[in-house]
Amino acid sequence: MESEMPRNADRAFRAEANLRSQVPKPDSLETGLDISGVRHSSVLPLPEAFRYKLERYARLRGRAPKSMDALLKSSRGFEPGVQLLCQGERAGQVFIVKQGWTFTSCSQPNGTRQIHNVQIPGDVAGLQNLLMPFTLCDLTAITRVEACEIGADCLAEAAATDPELAHFLLWLLACEIAVAGERLIGVGRRTAIERTAHFILELAARLKLAGLETENAFACPMTQHLFGDSLGLTSVHVNRMMRELRTAGLVHHQCGWLRVLDRERLARMAMFDSAYLDYPALAG
C-alpha cells in the first residue's frame, strides 16, 4: 500500500495548506447564526473546512446543530498509507478530515481494490459506523493527514438529542450517496476518457466548495493507481487518458498539481453536470 503513495505527497500537502489559507473565514460568511453551539467546553475548534461546510448548511436551514463542537475531543495525525479504519473491524470511530486526503475502499479476495470515494479537508469519513456493527470499508491516508476523531456511539447519542445534528448527518450521507451514484454511472456507462474527465471535474468542484481550488488548479496527490482504482481502469490506461487530455489542451497534471485548462470543453466531453454536488439543494 505504501508503495502506491506519491513521492510528492509532502509537496501536495504543502500546496493544499497554502490553498486552505484562502478559505473564507467563517465570520466573513455573514450567516447571522451561531454555529459553534451552546456548549463551549470542547478541547478542539471545528476544523476550518468543515466549519465552512457547516456554515453553508446553517445558512440554508436557518439553524445549526448545537452539539457538534462539544464532540471534538481529540485530533490525530496519520502518515501516508496508514489505515484509519479497517474493513470488517468493529465500528467505533468517525473522522472529520482536517488536513490531507484519504480514500475509502474495499478489497477483494483476489487482491483487487475498488475506491468508493476520496475525502478532502472538511469531509466526514465513517458515517456508516453510526448504524453498522462493523466497518464496511477501509479508510486510508493518501497524504499526511490530521483528523478529528469522534466516537460513533457518542455521535449517535448526540444526534438522538439534537434533531438538527441528526438532519445534518443525514445531509452528509445524502451527499455521499449522490457522489456514489454518479460514480456508478461513470463505471457502467461512460468511456474511459469520459469518466477520467468527469472525476477531475468532480474533484475540482468539491475542492471549490471547500475553498481549496484557485484559478482552475488544485493540489492533487493521487497516483495513477489511485485514479485507476477509483475509475475501474488500470494505471496504464489512466496514464494514456491523462496524456490524451493534456494533448487536447484540457488538463495538465504534474508534480502533485492538477490544472483544468478548458473547463467548458472538458465538461462537454465528460457530460458533467454538477447538480449532484449541489449541497444546498440537498440541505433544503
Which residue among 180, 214, 239 closes a domain? 180
25 is written with which cell numbers?
473565514
User: What distance in Å separates the CA atoms of residue 60 and residue 143, rounded to the nearest whole number?
Assistant: 33
What total number of domains does the chain contain? 2
Contacts of 150 (CB under 8 A, 6+ apart): 71, 72, 73, 93, 94, 95, 96
CATH number of 88's domain? 2.60.120.10
Closest residue by Cα to residue 141 from 198, 79, 192: 79
User: What distance in Å separates the CA atoms of residue 156 and residue 166, rounded to the nearest whole number?
Assistant: 8
Q: Which DSSP category does 174 fall into?
A: H
User: What distance in Å separates the CA atoms of residue 144 and residue 9, rounded to the nearest whole number?
Assistant: 8
pTM comes to: 0.81
Closest residue by Cα to residue 209 from 148, 277, 257: 277
The tens digit of pLDDT for each residue in 215-271 reads 789 999 999 999 999 999 999 999 999 999 999 999 999 888 999 999 999 999 999
Contacts of 166 (CB under 8 A, 6+ apart): 159, 160
Q: Map 62-87 to HEC letters.
A: CCCCCCCHHHCCEEEEECCCCEEECC
Closest residue by Cα to residue 145 from 94, 83, 207, 206: 83
Asked if residue 218 belongs to a domain, the reply is yes
Kindly list the distances between the CA atom of residue 39 and the CA atoms of 4, 7, 50, in Å, as whole numbers in the listed order. Answer: 42, 42, 18
Which residue among 146, 180, 214 closes a domain? 180
**In terms of domains, do 24 and 108 share one?**
yes
**In terms of domains, do 61 and 160 share one?**
yes
The residue type of 233 is L
pLDDT in tens, the chain (284 residues): 444 444 544 555 455 455 444 433 333 333 333 333 323 333 456 678 888 888 888 887 888 887 777 777 678 999 999 999 999 999 889 999 999 999 999 999 998 999 999 999 999 999 999 989 999 999 999 999 999 999 999 999 999 999 999 999 998 999 899 999 999 999 999 999 999 999 999 999 999 888 786 678 999 999 999 999 999 999 999 999 999 999 999 999 988 899 999 999 999 999 999 988 875 554 55
**In terms of domains, do 85 and 199 share one?**
no
**In terms of domains, do 138 and 31 share one?**
yes
Q: Which structural domain, as residue segments, surrounds residue 58?
A: 2-180
Q: Are 80 and 144 in contact (CB under 8 A)?
A: yes
CATH number of 212's domain? 1.10.10.10
